Amino acid sequence: MSSAEPIQKDEAHQAAKSSDNVPMIEVNNLRKFYGPVEALRGISFQVGRGEIVGFLGPNGAGKTTTMKILTGYISATAGTYRVAGHDGYSESLELREKIGYLPENAPLYPDMGVTEYLEFVCRIRRIPKNEWSARIASIIQRCGLSAMAHKDIGDLSKGYRQRVGLAQAMIHEPPILILDEPTSGLDPNQIVEIRNLIKELGKDRTIILSTHNLPEVQMTCTRMIIIADGRKVADGTAEELQQAGEDARFITSIRLPDNTTAEEVIQQLEALNGVAKVENMPSPAGHFRAALTANGDTDLSDEIFQCVTSKEWALTELRRDIVDLEKVFHKLTQY
């Protein structure tokens, strides 16, 4: 018996490994009409375990519609989706068991107390009754609701109601969380707390969150999907999106030797392979600073480094310039 154990463990390990490759959320060509209005025009994407995906897009782009379809509130006009391996149409109940959902504006029952409401959710979520008090205590503590536990939800501020919404989404420890604008209406301190909570949760589960707040996506999400006018216009990490479609830009600074002028340096740099443009940037006396734009996505750093060292100039700065995410967003969502 004991000799079989390591093999079983190994198999279990492999099974766990292979399930990591199965996407937790799989959306294929989802379309949705509201009457004659086409809200989703064929959206496809996948989200794997442990990913925190930010859904971005202008108002009316289809973020909320996509989330409502994924959680089983409304159905798509066409297309298929699977969540945690469950088909969105034939296994809707099983699918909903695996999801914790926070709808926009956290619509809760204002006449219920916080603890009373969480007990209601425990009952619906089939959590054994002897675990209720421990679960509720732990979720109240994690969501920073300790001072509010005995108040009525209707008496809470927007930020605290949002936290109760998060608490109800997480109390059954679902593998997938879908959060529609989880930080809207919160003050900056609360935003940081909720963000950290989401990051911590994202370590062992899959999270999709929608937001208008670009810095939030950069700070919280491992990947972002940008939707505009019912279509997916971008999908990747912040770095990937920042680089996509833009000519690469490099910033370099050099300490000038006494006998060299900035013009000479510019000439040298312009002569380099793959350089499209050299822009002189303001710099302290005796220094030279410039932004070099490449033809396309070429990495110029080697060229620049070799040029500068061959002249025996002192290189003080050389880095790839990061494009402002807001510019990327603006460019992608204009139509």
Residue choice 12, 15, 16, 124 for contact with other proteins (CB under 8 A): 124
* Residue 235 tokens, joined: 């999908």
Residue choice 126, 258, 286, 312 for contact with other proteins (CB under 8 A): 126
Site string for other proteins, 8-37 (x = CB under 8 A): ------------------------xxx---
Residue choice 10, 11, 20, 111 for contact with other proteins (CB under 8 A): 111
State whether the Cα torsion 110-115-116-117 is positive or negative: positive
Determine the interface stretch with other proteins among 7-15, 122-130, 197-205, 278-286 (rule: CB under 8 A): 122-130
Residue choice 43, 53, 121, 269 for contact with other proteins (CB under 8 A): 121
Whole-number Å distance between alpha carbons of 176 and 101:
9
Q: Where are the beta strands (DSSP E) in 237-281?
A: 249-255, 275-281
- Between 35 and 188, CB nearer to other proteins: 35
3-state secondary structure of 165: helix
Q: Which amino acid is at 16?
A: A
Whole-number Å distance between alpha carbons of 312 and 302:
15
Q: Which amino acid is at 332?
A: L
Determine the interface stretch with other proteins among 48-56, 117-125, 143-151, 251-259 (rule: CB under 8 A): 117-125
99 contributes a contact to other proteins by CB under 8 A: yes
Q: What's phi and psi for 113, nearest 5 deg?
A: -75, 160
- Between 33 and 305, CB nearer to other proteins: 33
In whole angstroms, the minimum distance from the beta carbon of 188 to other proteins comes to: 26
94 contributes a contact to other proteins by CB under 8 A: yes
Whole-number Å distance between alpha carbons of 116 and 166:
15
Compute, in degrees rounded to 10, the torsion defined by CA atoms 59, 57, 214, 27: 130
Q: Which amino acid is at 157?
A: S
H/E run at residue 198: helix 188-202
Contacts with other proteins in 49-88 (CB under 8 A)? 68, 71-77
Residue choice 28, 105, 268, 283 for contact with other proteins (CB under 8 A): 105
Per DSSP, helices labelled H in 22-128 are 63-70, 92-97, 114-124
131 contributes a contact to other proteins by CB under 8 A: no
- Between 96 and 331, CB nearer to other proteins: 96
Residue choice 125, 142, 199, 320 for contact with other proteins (CB under 8 A): 125
* Residue 54 tokens, joined: 């930010």
Indicate the length of the chain as a whole number: 335
Site string for other proteins, 271-310 (x = CB under 8 A): ----------------------------------------
Output the CA–CA distances (angstroms, integers) from residue 77 to 38, 40, 65, 220, in the order listed: 10, 9, 12, 32
Which chain residues interact with other proteins by CB under 8 A? 32-34, 68, 71-77, 93-94, 96-97, 99, 101, 103-105, 107-112, 120-121, 123-126, 168
